[in-house]
Amino acid sequence: MMKTKVLEIGALVPDFKEESLLVLFNETAPLELKDISVIHRFEEQPKNALQEGTTLVIGDKEYTIQKVGDEANPNFESLGHVSIYFKDDETEEILPGAVLVTPSEFPELNIGDSIEVK
């Protein structure tokens, strides 16, 4: 289980809706990445939380994690960083620091929303 709260939404985050990509970072995100990232703070520190078959809840939407890149959990635990791809094609290749979730519906996020892994 893992829970985090959205603190900031970068100005360019909506532009990534077309790519079905959401980038998360904790408060240590470099300035040049803040515009493209959702900045969050852990309420519960994750420990290997991103696992295939688990449920990712963003705001009021639920997703199933289909694929987890090799670096996704270490990056998420240390930097709060993960790239989330919303795709229905489970054969899609992903980067080491990414996860693939279904359905392919991009979430609407607001400051104060929570993101959870159950």
**Count of the separate structural domains present in the chain:** 1
50-109, pLDDT tens digit by residue? 999 999 999 999 999 999 999 999 999 999 999 999 998 877 789 999 999 999 999 999
> In the Cβ-directed half-sphere of 118, how many Cα atoms lie within 13 Å?
10
Residue 52, domain member (yes or no): yes
Residue 117, domain member (yes or no): no
Containing structural domain, residue 68 = 2-107
Cβ-contact 31, 66 below 8 angstroms:
no
Q: How far apart are the first and last CA of the chain?
A: 5
What percent of the chain is modeled with pLDDT above 90?
Answer: 90
Question: Which CATH number does the domain housing residue 74 bear?
Answer: 2.40.33.40
pTM comes to 0.95
Residue 103, domain member (yes or no): yes
Longest CA span, the chain: 33
